[in-house]
Amino acid sequence: MDDAIARGLARVAEAGAGSVPEIKFENDAELPVLLLDGEELIGANQDRTLNLTILAPPKRTTIIPVSCVEPGRWRMTTPEFRLAGDVMHSRGRAARCAQVTASMRASGTHGSDQVKVWDELASKASRLGVDSPTGAMAVMYERHALLIEEYVRAFAWTEGQTGVLCAIGCHPLALDLFDHSVTMRRLFPKLVRSYALDALDAGRCAKVPADPSLASEMLKVASSAPVFMQPAIGLGKDVRFRSRAVSGSALWVNGRYVHICAFAANGAADSAGFQTRMSRPTHRRG
């Protein structure tokens, strides 16, 4: 999406007169455009974050389900949205992902529980000591920009890398996996910023080195979780999975997974329980 907007091939704006849970993405390019789950959009009537990953078709306008991440403003500041340099923090993404999955099962829609999204943001801002007149999520990233950029400098994308696992100490939080290393390279700094915001209020456990084996363990548990799928917004199929240990979503297009995101069910709150469940995954028949 960064490339398409920068080249003038795509625009993101309010849908009609404006609706909190929906915005529109106009793709004038000859190619599909990847919109990432959790990416933050700034401006228009209020800041939003994407509810799921979408591959927007070329030469078409797509209505995108979003969540408000600025509850104290409904006033036009810019005619179009601009992309922030971050993604919603992983605990917020995990909760919203579960809400969207529940919405899909219940009604076939892709809505979040907006009140719970706001509650999570308010709780996060309080823990980080951040106060914003409009309750904007973006202010948390702005106030802690120097510390967050230290994380960005500390972690580097490596040649051929297609995924990244966030773990705080021995507690896995989130996994993002793409079908191409170029996609991972472009989105890597945004994802690190989102993980960094989780680390900033993690306390002493953030200082404990993470075990690299957590990545393969989390992949194992995610791949064995029960799934269901529906036609995606845009191209492909929207795949959802959930077990006691992990939940997440994936976008399946033309015979491959374009993006998979998975979240530990308990985040960093219950390491022992999560580790036990991860070591004994219930396998399902492929």
pLDDT value for 141: 97
pLDDT value for 28: 97
Whether the CB-CB separation of 238 and 229 falls below 8 Å is answered with: yes
pLDDT along the chain (286 residues), means of 10: 95 93 97 97 97 98 98 95 94 94 95 96 96 96 96 95 90 93 96 94 74 86 94 97 94 97 69 34 32
pLDDT value for 205: 66
Q: What is the DSSP letter of 275?
A: H
**Which amino acid is it at 242?**
R
pLDDT value for 17: 85
Whether the CB-CB separation of 251 and 236 falls below 8 Å is answered with: yes
pLDDT value for 216: 86
How far is it, in rounded angstroms, from Cα 214 to Cα 218? 6
Q: What is the pLDDT of residues 175-200, one digit of tens each?
A: 999 999 999 999 999 999 999 999 99
Q: Is 16 left (phi over 0), alpha (psi -120 to 50) or beta?
A: left
pLDDT value for 234: 96
Each domain of the chain, given as residue ranges in start order, spans: 2-279
